[in-house]
Structure 1
Amino acid sequence: MDDPVLLTGAAGRVGQAILGGLADEYEWRLLDRDPPTGDPPGEFVVADVTDEEAVREAMEGVSVVIHLAGDPRPEAPWDSVLTNNIDGTKIVYEAAVDAGVDRVVFASSNHAVGAYETDDRTPEMYRPQGDVLLDGTELPRPSNLYGVSKAAGETLGRYYHDHHDLSVCCVRIGNLTEDHPPIDYERGQAMWLSYRDCAHLFDRAIRADYGYEIVYGISDNDRKYYSIEHARDVLGYEPRDNSAEFD
């Protein structure tokens, strides 16, 4: 790929996991509202994702956008998720269409479906023998307003795919930690995503051919209530890590 990949929210945890594994694989254009603290692997644009003019300028000449920017707090209030996560995501999609970008990879979240974890299902659903397995075809059931904003971002992606032929992959990211999953925390182990599997998953989302997809971003854990089969089928995702290795 000759054109740059635009990565919004590049200084965040997901951005650092992606760049940690893929810094040398692509030409990067990085956007974050905070200036870089080290030597970034590409052009760095200091801007807020709600700044439409800055986003449009950063979008020029890119072929793929990985959109991570927004308020990541599960407890974030409505005024923040509306401005940063919903309005900001719409700005990214709109600018991508106008710039002729091929695809947007949108960082959704497990919080978009967190309310499936009902009292009568937990903690059994977090265990290898659990009978609940979400596969991306289910409707969103947000667990908080942050989850509402991520469900809205998925729906915006569906709109821009259907009406503007933009390829969109929504990744419902699980529990991203670098070295190992949370010990003695069944839910965290069931939704663990290692840094290297995160980088590999987004690499496949950059390279694969698809229209509109929702996939789950977790490692190949023995404990899981998210299916990764769709990510395998449509993206060629082949995770290498498993939270059971740390039991």
Structure 2
Amino acid sequence: MPQFANDQAEVLERMKSAQVTKAVVVATEEAEIAPVLTLARENDGLYAAFAVSPQDEALPDLTEEEIVLRVQDPKMVAVGETGLDYHYCQEPLDWQRNRFATHIRAANLANKPLIIHSREAACDTLDILKANGAQNCGFVLHCFCGDWDFAKKALDLGGYLSFSGIVTFRSAQDIQEVARKAPDDRIFIETDSPYLAPVPLRGKRNEPSFVPHVAQFLAQLRGKSIEDIAALTMQNANRFFRI
């Protein structure tokens, strides 16, 4: 990402200092695949994922077979992020729904799990996940920002939930309810860097070293120690991404 072009080495060093040992770096268009894979190959604990962004209609679509070819590298651990965004994108959105369905089918063919982006599109997200067999390859709702009803239906499909800095925001009551109720074996933590820095760093450029603030907040919500949250979310991520 260009936001990290000038201090990438320092960001990775701070990540290690914060005891964040693994991260997935996402390529959202074909041009990003090579640099993301290079970064993952050159750094232990970094992994890659790829899908065509659901937020940019202008990006060229790929066939299922083309996506499968692009995620074959062992360092490519997921297809994503893919999904629906009804906040920034306006109807007609058949292109977005079709792109999403293609990514799900490709993930099944590639035997890779899905990283799902869903914003203000809960019902359609669930419908497309079910219709295209996402429960077979596995999926995580990344940067979860829905309510318990959405979360419960996703969990019933076998999905995982990943919590970002949003969960620490005072206004995020629905997300905090989900973060309290979700089962221990279905939750991750993430940054969504460079966006959504957690309290008390809100407004800054987000980076992996900030993720312990999310872990600490989840620990308080769930009545656990930060060490417990770190251990169980790492175990879940390792199992999901098969790393």
Normalising by the smaller structure, the TM-score range is 0.3 to 0.5
Q: Per residue, is there more helix in 1 or in 2? A: 2
Task: Give the TM-score of the pair, scaled to structure 2.
Answer: 0.44
Task: Give the TM-score of the pair, scaled to structure 1.
Answer: 0.44
